[in-house]
Amino acid sequence: MAKRGSSKPSPGASDRGSPAKIGLDDSVRVLILAGPESHLRAERLASLRQAVESRRGEVDVLHFDGASASPADVLDEARSLGLMQQYKIIVVDEAEEFLKRGDNRRSMERYAEHPADDVTLVLRSAAWHAGKLDKLVEAVGLVLRCDSPEPPEAVNFCIDRGRQYGCAIEPAAAHLLVERIGTSLGRLDSELARLSLMVEDGAPIAPDLVRGQIPLSREEKAWELQDALVTGNATAAMTKLIELMTVSRHDPVPLFWSIADLSRKIYAAGRLLKEGQHERSIVGRLRIFGSATGATMNAARRVPSPLAARLTVESLRAAHRARQGLGSPERAVEIMALRFVSAVAPR
């Protein structure tokens, strides 16, 4: 049975996915919202609803659970006329599961060939396998991917979203938030809403607030070593390494992985720079972000590619030996860190 939802757009919906940007309006007969980013799927549905309301007035929004609904349930609702001739937005959630059952996919394909007027059918799903249905939908509507953004896009999202909560976020704080939370827009939005309540009127969200309210997990702290290593400062690198191993009691294996990951990024960035690619493109492609971005790119210009590749391989081999209990992992990671620092230190 369909569930009717409010016709009002969700509060705080951003202009990401606005009708002006992706063409969502009452001309869209069928809309596919596919991808793991649930926040983006919700915002695009809200944008569609808002655009239709601006042209048609009140809209009837109905939701079907794709795991249990039948094609007859959905299509009967799409083709039936309301008493007030009201525009309908019919949403099928978990649409991939819905399409897997029986002849459901073929039923949706036939509907897309001859969709009803005054109705937008929305198929929403985290997982999605493209096929004939997508091509049919493109003729009468839109197929929109809802994937998590790259880190630079996520940082811009934080900055824009902070304004909507009436609180600016400093760019450095936005970078730090993405580092610690990741690029899930839902999680970022939730944390921004919480952080905005912790600052005084007119004050921005600063990096110190993010550090205090969103501490790194034990695993994530291992990656703090990268910021110290890439400076090429042996004292800073060893101080951070000793802090992680003696104070935080870190297993050396994730520290080897951290060194290997940084070496890999330097190797890849160096190769891409030689190919003439723009630095900003490289940073996004390799997911290099945070306070050490500039130092990492400088190291990529200095360190020969064969040396960066060798550091990556040796770090992974050292991690493998540590997992097998061979030698002293603590001593091995100290040596590996010093070799890395020696390689990236400015001459």
Last residue of a domain, one of 116, 145, 174: 145
Q: Cβ atoms within 10 A of the Cβ of 135, count? A: 12
> Do strands 59-65 and 87-93 pair parallel, antiparallel, or not at all (unpaired)?
parallel
Asked whether residue 250 carries a pLDDT value surpassing 50, the answer given is: yes
Q: Are strands 3-5 and 59-65 parallel, antiparallel or unpaired?
A: antiparallel
Q: Say if residue 101 is in the same domain as residue 172.
A: no
Q: What CA–CA distance (Å, rounded) separates 298 from 170?
A: 24
Mean per-residue pLDDT, 169-186: 88
Kindly state whether residue 97 falls inside one of the protein's structural domains.
yes
Residue 35: predicted pLDDT: 92
Q: Is the predicted pLDDT of residue 344 greater than 60, yes or no?
A: yes
Are 100 and 51 in a shared domain? yes
DSSP 21-82: HH--STT-SEEEEESS-HHHHHHHHHHHHHHHHHHHSSEEEEEEETTT--HHHHHHHHHSPP
The last residue of one of the domains, among 93, 120, 145, is 145
Output the pLDDT for position 141.
Answer: 94
In a domain, 22, yes or no: no
Domain boundary among 145, 161, 195: 145
CA distance between the termini of the chain: 70
pLDDT at 119: 93
Instruction: Give the domain CATH number at 177.
Output: 1.10.8.60
Q: What is the tens place of the pLDDT at every residue in 32-56?
A: 999 989 899 999 999 999 999 999 8
Q: Are 230 and 199 within one domain?
A: no
pLDDT value of position 164: 86
Quick one: what percent of the chain has pLDDT higher than 70?
Answer: 88
Let me know whether 141 and 158 are in one domain. no
Is the overall model pTM greater than 0.75, yes or no?
no
pLDDT surpasses 80 at 105: yes
| CATH classification at residue 73 | 3.40.50.300
Task: Give the pairing of strands 142-145 and 59-65.
Answer: unpaired
Q: Which residues contact 28 (CB under 8 A, 6 or more apart)?
A: 48, 120, 140, 141, 142
Does residue 246 form part of some domain?
A: yes
261 and 165 in a common domain: no
Quick one: 325 and 243 in the same domain?
A: yes
Residue 12 lies in a domain: no
| pLDDT attached to residue 20 | 36
Residue 347 pLDDT exceeds 90: no
Q: Two tokens at 114?
A: 């001859």
Q: Are 83 and 157 members of one domain?
A: no
Give percent of the chain above pLDDT 90. 36
Mean of the pLDDT values across residues 47-70? Answer: 91
* Confidence class for position 9, pLDDT limits 50, 70, 90: very low
Say if residue 84 is in the same domain as residue 42: yes
pLDDT tens-digit map of 187-230: 899 899 999 989 888 789 999 898 888 866 555 666 678 888 88
pLDDT classification of 128: cutoffs 50, 70, 90? very high
In the predicted structure, residue 3 carries a pLDDT above the cut 60 = no
Same domain, 32 and 130: yes
Q: Check pLDDT > 60 for residue 18.
A: no
Query: Mean pLDDT over all residues of the chain?
Result: 84
112 within some domain: yes
139 vs 344, higher pLDDT: 139
Write out the two tokens for 66: 């794709």
The DSSP letter of residue 116 is P
Cα–Cα distance for residue pair 59/52, rounded to 1 Å: 7
In a domain, 230, yes or no: yes
Residue 276 lies in a domain: yes
Task: Write out pLDDT tens, residues 71-100.
Answer: 999 999 988 875 556 889 999 999 999 999
Q: What is the pLDDT of residue 167?
A: 87
**Can you give the pLDDT at residue 256?**
83
- CA-based nearest residue to 28, from 114, 110, 119: 119
Domain assignment of residue 286, yes or no: yes
Q: What's the average model confidence in pLDDT over 281-297?
A: 80
pLDDT of residue 10: 36
Q: Verify that 222 and 335 share a domain, yes or no.
A: yes
Neighbours of 255 (CB within 10 A): 28
Q: What is the pLDDT of residue 331?
A: 86
What total number of domains does the chain contain? 3
Q: Which amino acid is at 320?
A: H
Question: Could you tell me if 137 and 157 lie in one domain?
Answer: no
CA-to-CA dists, residue 184 to 163, 178, 188, 285, angstroms? 19, 9, 6, 17
Structure tokens at 45: 């549905």
Q: Token pair for residue 210?
A: 């993010």
What pLDDT was estimated at residue 84?
59
Distance between CA atoms of 27 and 255, rounded to whole angstroms?
54
What is the spatial distance between Cα 161 and Cα 173, in angstroms, rounded to a whole number? 13
Q: How confident is the model at residue 219, as a pLDDT?
A: 55
131-135, 247-251, 268-272: segment of lowest average pLDDT: 247-251
CATH number at residue 268: 1.20.272.10
* Short-list 2, 3, 91, CA closest to 45: 91
Same domain, 141 and 184: no
Range of the domain at 175: 151-213
